[in-house]
Amino acid sequence: MTKLVSEKIAKEEVEAWLDAKKVRQSQRKNFEKAIIELEDCISEGLIVRVADSNELKVELQFPTEALKSLTLAPRLKASERAKFMKGTEATDQDGRILKMISALSGENSALIGQLDVEDVAVLTSIAIFFF
């Protein structure tokens, strides 16, 4: 895809998001592939960080009739996460990821489940920072 944002700016945006979330360096090292994915998505214009709220707005590559984009919250309380995860087995990785995306976006998990796997992959690179 065409680069709409320079790699330098994309890296700065991801670092600013991670800094605001207070993600430790050890976590950053563990999630290096996800960080590279976020940088690429910002460079390609698929993700935009909203500076004043630290939300991430994701433009879906394969929008549905109901969803064209998703805005993901920068923080999530444990009680909110538990509410969305209710009924999902700990061993159901795909289900847990979809529920986390639902919790972060506030969208119904049935709508999230209808997203294309390419869009879910982008969203997963954000969601893993909330487990």
Three-state secondary structure call for residue 48: strand
How far is Cα of residue 87 from the mean position of the Cα atoms in its chain? Answer: 22
Q: Quick one: tokens of 4?
A: 């709409």
d(CA 125, CA 97): 10
Q: What is the pLDDT of residue 52?
A: 95
pTM of the predicted structure, to 2 decimals: 0.93
Secondary element (H or E) of residue 99: helix 93-105
pLDDT in tens, 7-30: 999 999 999 999 999 999 999 999
d(CA 50, CA 94): 27
List of residues 6+ apart from 12 with CB closer than 8 A: none
pLDDT in tens, 19-62: 999 999 999 999 999 999 999 999 999 999 999 999 999 999 99
